């Protein structure tokens, strides 16, 4: 049907994809068009995103989509990981955007806290402390800031290249640390108090807003002047749109590179207890609050596989991971529970070695085989997820009856079962492509192709996918 298809560009920290979607008979049908790796590059001054290559891949993917569905695409929406940004002057990019795993943000934490204490920061932005939050990266920026006239977060930067728009979509703006979740506006006073130039903050827009049509070369390469629509441009915000549950008594885990564990709320919870538990109040689609905590996530598995099999392709590594997971399931030696959020696990490199080192240093049983190491990681993730769900429920005084796990991690059956066991709650796994689904549905709604509130969009997701149920075996209960 002409004009009833929408295109999602979903950029993750390890790969990007272009997916077409169409809503018919209350269901969302998806067609995978392109998938490409996202490999960061160290340029000597630190770790960067290969942003131009990613943009080239996005254009190529959209061109393929237009060829496969000529004239059908009504809209394009872009989401990506949060926090990172490009600086511009006069519409041109200054320097290559840094990767949040570059340690430069850590160096700015003390100087920032010397001006505005951690407690005051939280009282203003409600954001969990992560060394890479935009506010710390900006504080580490140096000279470039004095000549920049704009900061665009990654999805907004792509929208800018595609259409010329210079705006910030709110869900992602809420991850910067210079955004006030109660006023739903930038905190310009905080910027000024930190010596950061408020002029670089672009006008805010909500998911669903039109950003204009493909311009110039972008339109030529893709083949047509297609409209670009703002979606929940923070990938986690899009993923939460696609939780297949129209109710409110669920916790969710958006499990990809990171495991984002939390609740959807109507109002932020910015108490001292929430700050100390490092819970964040990020902005959701339709003005909701994503009250959640970052847990290290599948990064620990994918980076371990990369360390063991440096020359393997992504496909080979994921086949090997499946084999190793079967072996991990059978491990019956005592398994250590490591603190998966220990900062030692954050930089790329020898994760298995660091897991062993951590166990040794903490007097825990040291895993030796790859299967034992994976089992340690999975049990520890399941434990951290279960704890974060219990913490969220307690801190927000919000009842949780079920945990939805979505994203790539929802395919990890061992993880899902151990999460059910450790939380004592039913775990519903899927959809895998929650982020793309949330992206597509918000566009479809903006284009009048589907109606309703979040509950209605979630009912579409529930009707479109198979969800796998894991019930607790009553072994370990953490709360
Ligand atoms: C997940 C995610 C998280 C964010 C992290 C860094 O992809 O967007 O929500 O904390 O990446 O941007």
Task: State the closest ligand 1 atom to the C-alpha of 13, by its place in the atom list counted from 1.
Answer: 7
pLDDT-wise least confident of 47-51, 308-312, 313-317:
313-317
Residues 263 and 288: their CA atoms lie apart, in Å, by: 10
Residues 447 and 5: their CA atoms lie apart, in Å, by: 10
> What pLDDT digit, counting tens, does each position of 434-473 carry?
999 999 999 999 999 999 999 999 999 999 999 999 999 9
Three-class SS string for the chain? CCCCEEEEEEECCCEEEEEEEEEECCEEEEEEEEEEECCCEECCCCEECCHHHHHHHHHHHHHHHHHHCCCCEEEEEEEECCCCEEEEECCEEECCCECCCCCHHHHHHHHHHHHCCHHHHHHHHCCCCCCCCHHHHHHCCCCHHHHCCEEEEHHHHHHHHHHCCCCEEHHHHCCCCCEECCCCEECHHHHHHCCCCHHHCCCEECCCCEEEECCHHHHHHHCCCCEEECCCCEHHHHHHHCCCCCCCCEEEEEECCCEEEEEEECCCCCCHHHHHCCCEEEECHHHCEEEEEEECCCHHHHHHHHHHCCCCCHHHHHHHHHHHHHHHHHCCCCCCCCCCCCHHHCCCCCHHHHHHHHHHHCCCCCCCCHHHHHHHHHHHHHHHHHHHHHHHHHHHCCCCCEEEEECHHHHCHHHHHHHHHHHCCEEEECCCCHHHHHHHHHHHHHCCCCCCCHHHHHHHHHHHCCCEEECCCCCCCCC
Task: State the closest ligand 1 atom to the C-alpha of 260, by its place in the atom list counted from 1.
Answer: 9
> What pLDDT digit, counting tens, does each position of 333-353 carry?
999 999 999 999 999 999 999
- Tokens 């979606």 belong to which residue? 231
CB 49 near ligand 1, within 6 Å: no
CB 154 near ligand 1, within 6 Å: no
Contacts (Cβ under 8 Å, ≥6 apart) of 415 = 255, 378, 381, 382, 409
At residue 428, the pLDDT reads 98
At residue 479, the pLDDT reads 38
At residue 385, the pLDDT reads 98
Q: Report the separation in Å between the CA atom of 459 and the middle of ligand 1, taken as the mean of its atom positions.
A: 25
Strand bridging mode 47-48 / 210-213: unpaired
Please tell me the pTM assigned to this model: 0.96
Task: State the closest ligand 1 atom to the C-alpha of 258, by its place in the atom list counted from 1.
Answer: 1
Q: Report the separation in Å between the CA atom of 82 and the middle of ligand 1, taken as the mean of its atom positions.
A: 5
Q: Report the separation in Å between the CA atom of 298 and the middle of ligand 1, taken as the mean of its atom positions.
A: 12
Q: Report the separation in Å between the CA atom of 42 and the middle of ligand 1, taken as the mean of its atom positions.
A: 20
Mean pLDDT in residue range 11-23: 96
Residues 479 and 477: their CA atoms lie apart, in Å, by: 6
Residues 350 and 306: their CA atoms lie apart, in Å, by: 9
pLDDT greater than 70 at residue 140: yes
Kindly report the protein residue whose alpha carbon is nearest to atom 12 of ligand 1: 82
CB 299 near ligand 1, within 6 Å: no
pLDDT greater than 90 at residue 322: yes
CB 240 near ligand 1, within 6 Å: no
When the pLDDT of each residue in the chain is averaged and rounded to a whole number, the result is: 96
At residue 188, the pLDDT reads 98
Task: State the closest ligand 1 atom to the C-alpha of 130, by its place in the atom list counted from 1.
Answer: 10
Contacts (Cβ under 8 Å, ≥6 apart) of 322 = none
235 noted as active-site residue? yes
Q: Report the separation in Å between the CA atom of 176 and the middle of ligand 1, taken as the mean of its atom positions.
A: 11
CB 258 near ligand 1, within 6 Å: yes
HSE, side-chain direction, 13 A CA sphere, residue 333: 17
Exactly one of 84, 235, 391, 421 is catalytic; which is it?
235
At residue 2, the pLDDT reads 60
Contacts (Cβ under 8 Å, ≥6 apart) of 448 = none
Residues 235 and 286: their CA atoms lie apart, in Å, by: 15
pLDDT greater than 60 at residue 25: yes
Share of residues in the chain with pLDDT > 70 (%): 98
Task: State the closest ligand 1 atom to the C-alpha of 12, by its place in the atom list counted from 1.
Answer: 7
Residue 293 bridge partners (DSSP): 261
Q: Report the separation in Å between the CA atom of 9 and the middle of ligand 1, taken as the mean of its atom positions.
A: 16
Q: Out of 79, 98, 130, 175, give the residue to mutate to test ligand 1, the one with the largest number of ligand atoms within 8 Å of its CB.
A: 175
At residue 477, the pLDDT reads 44
The answer to whether the complex's ipTM is over 0.90 is yes
Q: Report the separation in Å between the CA atom of 214 and the middle of ligand 1, taken as the mean of its atom positions.
A: 27
At residue 474, the pLDDT reads 63
Residues 380 and 304: their CA atoms lie apart, in Å, by: 15
Mean pLDDT in residue range 398-405: 98
Q: Out of 130, 154, 260, give the residue to mutate to test ligand 1, the one with the largest number of ligand atoms within 8 Å of its CB.
A: 260
pLDDT-wise least confident of 208-212, 279-283, 330-334:
330-334
pLDDT greater than 50 at residue 392: yes
CB 232 near ligand 1, within 6 Å: no
pLDDT greater than 60 at residue 475: no
> What pLDDT digit, counting tens, does each position of 409-437 carry?
999 999 999 999 999 999 999 999 999 99
Work out the pLDDT band at 1, boundaries 50, 70, 90: very low
At residue 478, the pLDDT reads 44
Kindly report the protein residue whose alpha carbon is nearest to atom 6 of ligand 1: 82
At residue 314, the pLDDT reads 84
At residue 179, the pLDDT reads 98
């Amino acid at each position: 049907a002409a004009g009833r298809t929408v295109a999602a560009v979903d950029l993750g920290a390890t790969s990007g994809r272009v997916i077409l979607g169409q809503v018919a008979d209350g269901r969302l049908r998806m067609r995978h068009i392109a998938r490409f790796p996202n490999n960061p590059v160290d340029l000597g001054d630190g770790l960067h995103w290969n942003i131009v290559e990613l943009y080239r891949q996005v254009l190529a993917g959209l061109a393929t989509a237009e060829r496969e569905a000529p004239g059908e695409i009504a809209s394009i929406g872009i989401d990506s990981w949060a926090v990172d940004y490009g600086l511009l002057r006069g519409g041109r990019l200054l320097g290559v955007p840094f990767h949040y795993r570059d340690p430069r943000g850590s160096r700015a934490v003390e100087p920032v806290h010397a001006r505005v204490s951690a407690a005051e920061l939280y009282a203003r932005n409600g954001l969990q402390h992560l060394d890479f939050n935009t506010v710390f990266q900006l504080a580490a920026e140096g000279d470039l800031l004095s000549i920049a006239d704009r900061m665009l977060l990654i999805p907004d930067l792509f929208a800018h290249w595609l259409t010329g728009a210079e705006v910030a979509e709110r869900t992602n703006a809420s991850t910067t640390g210079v955004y006030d979740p109660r006023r739903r506006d930038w905190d310009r006073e905080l910027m000024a108090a930190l010596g950061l130039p408020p002029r670089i903050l672009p006008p805010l827009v909500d998911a669903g807003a039109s950003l204009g049509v493909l311009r110039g070369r972008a339109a030529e390469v893709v083949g047509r002047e297609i409209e670009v629509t703002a979606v929940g441009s923070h990938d986690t915000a899009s993923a939460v749109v696609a939780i297949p549950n129209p109710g409110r008594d669920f916790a969710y885990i958006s499990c990809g590179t990171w495991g984002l564990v939390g609740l959807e709320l109507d109002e932020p919870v910015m108490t001292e207890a929430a700050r100390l538990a490092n819970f964040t109040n990020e902005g959701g689609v339709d003005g909701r609050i994503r009250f959640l905590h970052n847990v290290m996530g599948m990064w620990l598995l994918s980076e371990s596989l990369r360390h063991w099999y440096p020359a393997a392709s992504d496909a080979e590594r994921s086949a090997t991971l499946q084999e190793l997971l079967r072996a991990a399931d059978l491990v019956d030696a005592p398994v250590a529970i490591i603190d998966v959020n220990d900062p030692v696990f954050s930089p790329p490199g020898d994760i298995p070695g660091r897991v062993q080192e951590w166990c040794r240093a903490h007097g825990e049983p040291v895993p030796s085989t790859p299967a034992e190491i994976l089992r340690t990681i999975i049990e520890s993730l399941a434990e951290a997820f279960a704890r974060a769900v219990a913490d969220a429920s307690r801190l927000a005084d919000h009842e949780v009856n079920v945990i939805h796990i979505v994203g790539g991690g929802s395919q990890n059956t061992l993880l899902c079962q151990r999460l059910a066991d450790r939380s004592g709650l039913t775990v519903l796994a899927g959809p895998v492509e929650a982020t793309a689904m949330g992206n597509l549905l918000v566009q479809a709604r903006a284009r009048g192709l589907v109606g309703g509130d979040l509950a209605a969009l979630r009912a579409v997701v529930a009707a479109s996918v198979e969800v796998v149920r894991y019930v607790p075996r009553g072994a370990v209960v953490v709360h």
